[in-house]
């Protein structure tokens, strides 16, 4: 089973927006997809559909999959370790890694997306960040950024720390921020400093199809390649 870790340069920059669009695009191509978000905070059990796992479940067309997608759900809109503490729980990196590895061990889908919480360096436990979880899992990274003023610095910083820990970046997706500079202009500015990973621009539009990202994730065979198969 192919797997990607969906990481962000910060909080509320569009990780779930991008993940849902990729899920829909690949499902249209007949790929079987699943999503896993090991911990989520700011979760309202009275309105689960607006949460990150709720949106992922809708993209998967599996409305009953909330528990499978996010087994650790906390109400407070705080860092996961703080939200967990308010409910009497203590998050540990070993537990989060174990949850992810259990899901990775079930090769029942073509692709599994594991989505982090917050930014690359956001705390997940009292002593571990998203990056620590990413390193432990050692999966290719899909890095999602915003298009706000200052995002180029945040992207380059995130790339530096991700690569310094030996992780590979499959692609960078710049998700459009509201009331921000022009998305295309910001993307071109980033491309002047980062040329290694593909850069995809993602308008904040529910009709964005993520076709280009789907092509990177599961490249479609050319006519010549398909002829060789048959």
- Helix pair angle (52-60, 15-28), 10° resolution: 10
Q: In which domain, by residue range, is 219 found?
A: 2-229
> pTM of the full predicted structure?
0.93
Q: Band of the pLDDT at 220, cuts 50, 70, 90?
A: low
Return d(Cα 66, Cα 68) in angstroms, integer. Answer: 6
Q: What is the pLDDT of residues 140-189, one digit of tens each?
A: 999 999 999 999 999 999 999 999 999 999 999 999 998 899 999 999 99
Q: Band of the pLDDT at 17, cuts 50, 70, 90?
A: very high
Query: For residue 196, what is the domain's CATH number?
Result: 3.40.50.300
Helices then strands, each counted (H, E), the chain = 10, 8
**Number of domains making up the chain:** 1
- Helix pair angle (130-137, 151-164), 10° resolution: 40
Confirm whether 37 is a catalytic residue.
Answer: yes
Number of CB atoms found within 10 A of residue 161's CB: 14
Q: What is the pLDDT of residues 28-67, one digit of tens each?
A: 999 999 999 999 999 999 999 999 999 999 999 999 899 9
* Element containing residue 175 per DSSP (H, E): strand 169-175
**Radius of gyration of the chain measured on its C-alpha atoms:** 17
Catalytic residue among 2, 37, 223, 228: 37
In the block, residue with structure tokens 């050319």 = 222
In the block, residue with structure tokens 């909080």 = 11
């Amino acid at each position: 089973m192919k797997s990607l870790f969906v990481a962000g340069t910060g909080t509320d920059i569009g990780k779930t927006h991008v993940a849902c669009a990729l899920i829909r695009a690949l499902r249209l191509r007949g790929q079987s997809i699943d999503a896993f978000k090991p911990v989520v905070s700011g979760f309202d059990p009275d309105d689960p559909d607006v949460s990150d796992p709720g949106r992922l479940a809708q993209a998967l067309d599996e409305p009953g999959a909330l528990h499978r997608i996010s087994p650790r759900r906390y109400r407070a809109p705080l860092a996961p370790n703080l939200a967990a503490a308010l409910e009497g729980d203590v998050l540990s990196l070993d537990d989060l890694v174990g949850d992810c590895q259990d899901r990775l061990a079930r090769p029942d889908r073509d692709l599994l997306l594991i989505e982090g919480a917050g930014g690359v360096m956001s705390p997940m436990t009292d002593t571990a960040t998203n990056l620590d979880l990413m390193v432990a899992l050692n999966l290719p990274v899909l890095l999602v950024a915003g298009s706000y003023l200052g995002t180029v610095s945040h992207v380059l910083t995130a790339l530096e720390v991700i690569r310094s820990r030996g992780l590979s970046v499959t692609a960078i997706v710049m998700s459009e921020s509201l009331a921000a500079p022009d998305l295309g202009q910001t993307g071109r500015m980033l491309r002047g400093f980062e040329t290694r990973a593909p850069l995809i621009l993602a308008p904040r539009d529910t009709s964005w199809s993520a076709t280009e990202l789907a092509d990177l994730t599961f490249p479609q065979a050319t006519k010549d390649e398909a002829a060789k198969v048959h």
